[in-house]
Structure 1
Amino acid sequence: MQAEDSEAWVLASRVGPVARIHLNRGDARNPLGAEMVQALSAAVGEASGQSGVRVILLTAAGPAFSAGGNLGNLGDRLAAAAGPDGRDPIAAGNRRYGEFLTQLVNVPQVTVACVQGAAMGGGAGLACAVDIAVGSPEARFGFPEAAIGLVPGQILPFVAARLGLPAARRLVLTGRRIDAAEAHRIGLLDYVADSHQALGALTRQVLESVVATAPQASACTKRMLGRLPVAPLQASGALQGYLDEAAELFAGQMRSEAMEGVSAAREKRPARWNEAGELSALDLA
């Protein structure tokens, strides 16, 4: 792993047929803001164009894989002026993540994520978008967007494609977090290591299995998988139209309910719309 540039958003390296892309903001839990998404997109584009690369491996620094979207600069984002086309800049920024995930699922190489800790929101979506996800017992997943007034529209097609609609509904509509064992049970994780220390060895075994397959057969098989009716219309105009609409919904929520939701989360209090306390009177006997 390259370590000479501690300021880089991602670090890219290559060992034989494996191109590794390392999220490099561990101190901030690897937020998926504009700079990180741009760096990820550039690194994936470069890796996918290199001759002999069979696998693109995503890893992350620090205790968390990714905490998801960066809401620390909410005020600046709300105040940003519309672009020359009049489009809401929040919608445009949100849409770029869907563009990156579409890019990721369409590369010919097999994509693998090594999830060492929490993957929330867009981070969980990233784990869902790869071909194979490997996790440590400390891995945790959740989709907290609706709880803070947002819509996880850019990641929903990829989450539903991996988990199926019932599990996707359950997770995104409740915001409940799940551990590695539950993630493995529902298919979010393909493999779970016995311990944090064993994660590297397990990931290496998965990589060895991938590169042991015939290169053209592997690429063709992946392409055909993407064309199955159960796939999230990965390369189709229908998916792009959906993601465009989702970005506008996200921007609308950011400018309305999310203002209260994010404030409540920061202040560690229930949001004003949260009526869970009243459920104590509900008799379910």
Structure 2
Amino acid sequence: MEQLPQCETLILEKHGPALMVTINRPEVRNAMSLQMVAELSTLFNEVEHDDSIRAVVIRGAGGHFCAGGDIKDMAGARGQQAGEGRDDPFYKLNRAFGQMIQQVNESAKVVIAITEGAVMGGGFGLACVSDVAIAGPTAKFGMPETSLGVIPAQIAPFVVERIGLTQARRLALLGLRIDAAEACALGIVHQVAGSEEQLNDMLNQALERVRLCAPNATAETKALLHRVGHEPMAGLLDDAAEKFAAAIRGAEGTEGTMAFMQKREPKWAGSES
């Protein structure tokens, strides 16, 4: 990505192979507007074709990750002429968000979520499609939709994939809000930091691991993980064996083996990556 795209709701900074994405609507606790959804979708589309970016780090400005959907957009949709089915403005608003979440979920890059403050609704869904999620001490997670008379339509499937049906039922049907420790116990996040300093240390450790792992092998592994449970195991393992053979004979497999034998870092770990 020679030039970072211009965004109104996001702050973008490139640090080596990592793209730092800060959701920047602190006046509404980083609530997710249609514009933010569009900008995130465009960004992930561009990142997908950029070999210089291997990790995308998402966090929020002003002490909050994302407080869910934007009420102004909801009001705007309500003010539009009602259509039927997929012509309904609310359908289009909700589905656009779901498409973006699916895009983040299936990205070939390593997606890291740094969660602080409000991690609600759409923000909760975004955390649930990250590959690595780290929570700060102030983080509060929840699916409050049912308490507002609506449903977590686009995030519920990803929450089930993240923590299983049993726990997703409890969170969604009771509209619960939980703290970082419980979110970690459930598997929503992987680590909980006790301070801002520790949060940044955990992020740096994760990015260090990304640096040491081969980018194509990482992307292939992520794609393989997403296929589990969606197709017959024997066929999946047959295809995985073919991909393994191609990987070990390929440039990364050859370089990784040589680096191990020569007790050095592989080339992809260099600062030029």
TM-score by length of 1: 0.75
Aligned-CA RMSD value: 2.2
Question: Hey, what's the Cα distance between the residues in 2 that align with 1:120 and 1:86?
Answer: 26
Paired residue secondary structure (2:12): strand
Question: Hey, what's the Cα distance between the residues in 2 that align with 1:155 and 1:28?
Answer: 20
1:78 is matched with: 78
Which of 1 and 2 has higher RCO (CA within 8 Å, sep 6+)? 1
1:166 is matched with: 166
2:97 is matched with: 97
Identity of aligned residues (%): 38
Partner AA of 2:42 in structure 1: A
Paired residue secondary structure (1:114): strand
Paired residue secondary structure (2:217): helix
TM-score by length of 2: 0.78
Kindly indicate whether the alpha-carbon contact (under 8 Å) linking 1:161 and 1:230 is maintained by their aligned counterparts in 2. Answer: no
Kindly indicate whether the alpha-carbon contact (under 8 Å) linking 1:138 and 1:196 is maintained by their aligned counterparts in 2. Answer: no
Question: Hey, what's the Cα distance between the residues in 1 that align with 2:145 and 2:217?
Answer: 39
Displacement of 1:194 in angstroms is: 2.2
Question: Hey, what's the Cα distance between the residues in 2 that align with 1:75 and 1:209?
Answer: 44
Kindly indicate whether the alpha-carbon contact (under 8 Å) linking 2:144 and 2:172 is maintained by their aligned counterparts in 1. Answer: yes
Paired residue secondary structure (2:87): coil
Paired residue secondary structure (2:62): coil
Displacement of 1:97 in angstroms is: 0.5
1:116 is matched with: 116
Kindly indicate whether the alpha-carbon contact (under 8 Å) linking 2:34 and 2:73 is maintained by their aligned counterparts in 1. Answer: no
Partner AA of 1:66 in structure 2: C
Question: Hey, what's the Cα distance between the residues in 2 that align with 1:200 and 1:213?
Answer: 20
Higher helix content, 1 or 2: 2
1:33 is matched with: 33
Q: Mark the runs of 5 or more structure 1 residues left unpaired by the alignment.
A: 232-285
Displacement of 1:48 in angstroms is: 2.2
Within 5 Å, give how 1:184-195 maps onto structure 2: 184-195=184-195
1:50 matched to 2:42: no
1:134 is matched with: 134
CA separation of 1:230/1:185 partners in 2, compared to 1, >3 Å: closer, same or farther?
farther
1:205 is matched with: 205
Provide runs of 4+ in structure 1 moved above 4 Å: 82-86
Displacement of 1:118 in angstroms is: 1.5
Displacement of 1:134 in angstroms is: 0.8
1:220 is matched with: 220
2:15 is matched with: 15
Question: Hey, what's the Cα distance between the residues in 2 that align with 1:86 and 1:14?
Answer: 38
